[in-house]
Amino acid sequence: MPADPTTVGPPEEGLSESLTEELAALIDDGRTYVSAELNFQKTRASLAGKNAGIALGLAIVAVVVLHVAVLALAVGLVMALAPLVTIWGAIAIVVGGLLAVTGLLGWKAAKHGQRIGAIFANDDPPAAAGEE
């Protein structure tokens, strides 16, 4: 008499093999997914690195061009002031002004650096960024 498919009995051999095959396929799919994800992340990191390098190069060129512009401004100021206060006076005024601006910027940078140190030194809230 053939087995009734509606009765509950011991698992058949074919069912066990198909479950094993499904688990093997699932593991294989997982490995494929992990491999694809790793390759995607490597490609994304490579692309980000290339763009970061290009951005850094462009920023360096921009700083060099800005430096040349400041030099041209300084020379122009010396030439404009020379007839009024002699060449040495013009050089002294321009260099003094540039040193004053440099000192002010350095002082502000040091002040903000101290704020950064205070943030990590204790739990007291630092002064607001706009307060000086």
Question: What is the structure's pLDDT at 17?
Answer: 75
**Burial class (CB within 10 angstroms; exposed 0-12, middle 13-18, buried 19+) of 93:** middle
**Burial class (CB within 10 angstroms; exposed 0-12, middle 13-18, buried 19+) of 54:** exposed
The single-letter DSSP state of residue 127 is P
82 near 90, Cβ under 8 Å? yes
> For residues 19 and 2, what is the distance between their CA atoms, to the nearest angstrom?
24
pLDDT in tens, 8-59: 555 555 566 788 899 999 999 999 999 999 999 999 999 999 999 999 999 9
Task: Answer with the residue of higher pLDDT: 17 or 93.
Answer: 93
Question: What is the structure's pLDDT at 78?
Answer: 95
Q: Cα 53 vs. chain centroid, distance in angstroms?
A: 11
